[in-house]
Structure 1
Amino acid sequence: MATIQSFLMKKPNSAGLFPIAIRITKDRRSSYLFTGQYIESKFWDDKFKRVKKSHPNSKRLNSLVAKKIAEANDRLIDNENQNNSQSAKKIKKKIIGKTKMDFFEASKLFLSNLLKRKKFNQHYNQEKRLDIFKTFLGRKKLFFTDLDVTLLKDFKAYLLYDRKVAERTAINYLMLIRTIYNFARKEYHVDDGNYPFGKGKIQIKFPESEKIGLNREEVLLLETANNLTKAQLHAVYAWLTSFYFAGVRVADLIKLKWKDFKDGRLYYRMGKNRKLVSLVVPDKAKEILAYFAAQKTGKDDLVFPFLKGTDLKDEKRVATRVKTITRNLNRRLEIVGEKLGIEKKISMHIARHSFGNISGDKIPIQMLQKLYRHSSITTTVNYQSNFMHKETDDALEKVINF
């Protein structure tokens, strides 16, 4: 038989208040349920496990705690009557379905799961978005029952008009909120009667994004660029290497080692989907590799110098460095673009778009799928449609040229 007892947790929040929680114990294992209420430690009666009468809201708080314990006991009795042998953790999940759970408590658990899965970049980005959501709310607690359509519409308007973010970026924020809501529904049985997403509510629809790549002439300008600083030259070489290998993502590119090149081919595993890739090394790429080979001391060396001095076993540190390196490369590429008179914005990711733009409809879509390393050919079709304009251009010409 499991036992349920209220207690005051020992770790205070930023305001110095301590959370009132409920401990569920079964088979000598415990799980903890937060009530969402905080008090000063001097107001807790540890002997009787209740808020002292000296607290101005003692009656209401004790009533709330008693109600939570009663609901938990009801669940336990149902569990025992059904002869279910469940752990304290599973019992907790069932009980939470009856509580007024906090969205940001669920978000902490969601973020911690990202860290466990070593999704460091995703953790960093999502944590920043949640901080902006808190700034909009002006508070650090939000019960799921208060997370409604009106609130989300107001938040989207705040993102678009106050923070001046793009439509697609605003949708990313809403998608994160939906992901955490769904996480809480699945893992903690949060009641979805107030679920604000779906038909007639908040719908997640990404606007079409504009993908513009460099053309042949612009890539040629980069290939023949001179009078560049060493840092600018390295940025251009990184961009061209990505382009020559059909748009290798920057996070994969700067982690390439000399041992990844064998018998005139590049072998590497993509960081995004863990796919193993094998591509022939084009002659143009060989020239760039020869430039960096001068600093080579062993096959375990990195090809590019950007991560030099970084402990590659420290995955979190590497993820942080990759973000900084990418930002610096993009800044240098912009400067080079201005020098060369290229009006399009140049970034490391644009190397992938440039390959798509120049390939156009000249390569069979199945072969492009292999080159892009897409899991689904539908993804390739949708991606390449941004660069295949010949049929629509010809149709337009036939109509207006009379």
Structure 2
Amino acid sequence: MNKDGNGVVWIYAYQCSESGKPQQKYFPTEVYVRPDQWDKKSRQVKDHPNALAYNSLINRKLSELMEYQVGMVNERHGAHVPLREFHEQFTATGGQKLSFTAFYRMTAQQRKEISSATRQTQLNTLNHWRTAVGEVSFNELDYQVLDAFHQYLLGEEKELTTIDKYHRHVKTYINIAINKGYVKSGINPYNRFKYDKGSPRPKDFLRLEELKLLEEMDTSRITKEQEKARDIFLVMAFTGLRFSDAVTMKPKNITKTRKGYYYSALMVKNQRRKKKEINLPLYAFFHFVGEEESRAQRWMKACLEKYGKKPNKPLFEGLSNTVVNENIKKVAEVAGLDKHLSCHVGRHSFGTNMAVKVPIPTLQSYMGHSKIDTTMQYVKMSKKIQDEVIERIRWEK
């Protein structure tokens, strides 16, 4: 009820689910009347100067809902439409016919099993899709549309591996659309669409002396946003945290023990499963002889002093994977590093530098790998460091 004693007229929808539990949803109209101006028996407005117009508006809204329901059933080739999904889609589209492009956006925003960083990356792909091909209906999903998207990405001079990532995102949402009945399983356009996926470039990493260049660089030559990207990059390089865990790091999760700083939190990744614990002895990571504290602890203390004013507020709140990747490239250039830096390179640097000294099972635990095969890639990468050490030795006869 508003201040005038008028309330909105709602259209009530009811559906009995397969489990027998009823589902109920309410859809608002634009009609406001007093309780005594509503006839419960006829379900119409009465004794109101605009009763005829209001009743006509309510009937149009009801017809709109019914037509939308029929449209959804037809889109799904006669499949049952749960009331919850009907309500979500009608609300998200404003009653307009759902296109694949809108479905991608709506589904990406609603998926609870993906991290915010993954969601942002997939929505970034959607932006490229919309620029390339616009609003595409489910019926328009064919070879020609995928090829138009592919040609656009080639024109943007994207790397083949990056283009493959974009295609995999689109394919994911086509498969979800198939599972929901919007697209027939036998007409997935990717079944016929073939393209060069490229070869993954060798994973870059920074040696400890290169990380020191970032630590000691002149920050007056970069922006505050670039400095923050540098800071979180070094956090990942000294702790091995994924971006999703580093960006949510809070001061309250860092405790000072007798030995030094210790980080403990729940891993953000794999939200549908039981979350793993992260336990990192920061005081022990890269603690060199002759130095008062470890590199990891020293850097974390600097970040706490700079960003850790509130215990419950993430140190790097507001940063996204995409923004950090853009800024860290400029930081590398200013620091004199001729390497293609990204958030992943920070984590790879930790794994590779630690693999020189740390047993594989221990490194697996610190990096949160489920499979030891994943950890072994860092052991292989660390061979480069070991080979360089051997090459610098001059043997005496």
The interval holding the TM-score normalised by the smaller chain is 0.5 to 0.7
> Equivalent residue for 2:30?
none
1:266 matched residue in structure 2: 263
For residues 390 and 124 of structure 1, the distance between their equivalents in structure 2, rounded to whole angstroms, comes to: 35
Equivalent residues of 2:329, 2:340 under 8 A apart:
no
Which among 346, 360, 365 is matched to residue 365 of structure 1? Answer: 360
1:130 positional shift: 2.0
- Report if the CA contact (8 A) 1:196-1:202 is conserved: no
Residues 240-269 of structure 1: per-residue CA shift (max 9 Å, x gap): 443222x22344335433332332321122
TM-score of the pair, normalised by structure 2: 0.59
- Where do 1:225-264 residues align within 5 Å? 225=216, 228-229=219-220, 238-245=232-239, 247-262=240-255, 263=257, 264=260
Structure 2 Cα separation of the partners of residues 47 and 292 of structure 1: 58
Q: Secondary structure at the match of 2:185?
A: coil
1:194 to 187, 190, 193: 187
Structure 1 residue 165: Cα displacement: 0.9
Asked if 1:165 is matched to 2:161, the reply is no
Identify the range of structure 1 (226-235 vs 252-261) with the bigger mean alpha-carbon deviation.
226-235
1:75-122, Cα deviation, whole Å (9 max, x unpaired): 69xx9xxxxxx9656999xxxxxxx974224324312313x6684433
Count of residue correspondences:
308
Q: Which residue of 1 aligns with 2:375?
A: 380
Aligned partner of residue 202 in structure 2, secondary structure: coil
Aligned to 2:142: 148
Task: Verify the 8 A CA contact 1:156 1:170 in the aligned structure 2.
Answer: yes
Give the aligned residue type for 1:373: G
Q: Is residue 207 from structure 1 mapped to residue 199 from structure 2 by the alignment? A: yes
Q: Distance in 2 between matches of 1:222 and 1:177?
A: 36
1:103 to 91, 96, 100: 100
Cα distance in 2 for residues equivalent to 1:390 and 1:228: 28
Secondary structure of 1:277's aligned partner:
strand
Structure 1 residues 299, 87: closer, same or farther in 2, change over 3 A? closer
- Please give the residue correspondences for 1:203-352 in structure 2 after superposition, counting only pairs within 5 Å: 207-222=199-214, 225=216, 228-229=219-220, 238-245=232-239, 247-262=240-255, 263=257, 264=260, 265-273=262-270, 274-281=275-282, 282=284, 283-291=294-302, 300=311, 304=315, 307=316, 318=317, 320-323=318-321, 326=324, 330=328, 333-338=331-336, 342-352=337-347
Equivalent pair of 1:254/1:303 in contact (CA under 8 Å): yes
CA distance in 2, matches of 1:133, 1:171: 13
| One-letter amino acid of the counterpart of residue 118, structure 2 | Q
Look up the equivalent residue of 2:152 and give its one-letter code: Y
Q: 1:146 to 1:383 in 2, by over 3 A?
A: farther
For 2:125, the aligned partner's letter is R
- 2:263 counterpart SS class: strand
Residue pair 2:236, 2:246 contacting (<8 A) in 1 also:
yes
Q: How does 1:18-29 map to 2 (within 5 A)?
A: 26=15
Asked whether the equivalents of residues 360 and 384 of structure 1 are also in contact (C-alpha less than 8 Å), the reply is: yes
Alignment of 1:11-50 (within 5 A): 26=15
Q: Give the deviation of 1:192 after TM superposition.
A: 1.7
Task: Please give the root-mean-square deviation of Cα atoms over the aligned residues, in Å.
Answer: 4.9
**Alpha-carbon distance change, 327 to 136 in structure 1, aligned in 2, over 3 angstroms:** closer
Match in the other structure for 1:123: 119
> 8 Å contact 2:325–2:341 — kept in the other structure?
no
Contact 1:261-1:267 within 8 A present in 2 as well: yes
Out of 166, 174, 187, the position equivalent to 2:167 is: 174
Shift of 1:383: 5.5
**How many angstroms does 1:217 deviate by?**
3.2
Code of the aligned partner of 2:328: N
The percent of aligned pairs where both chains have the same amino acid is: 22
What letter is aligned with 1:122?
Answer: T
Residues 381/202 of structure 1: CA separation in 2 closer, same or farther (3 Å cut): farther
2:279 counterpart letter in structure 1: S
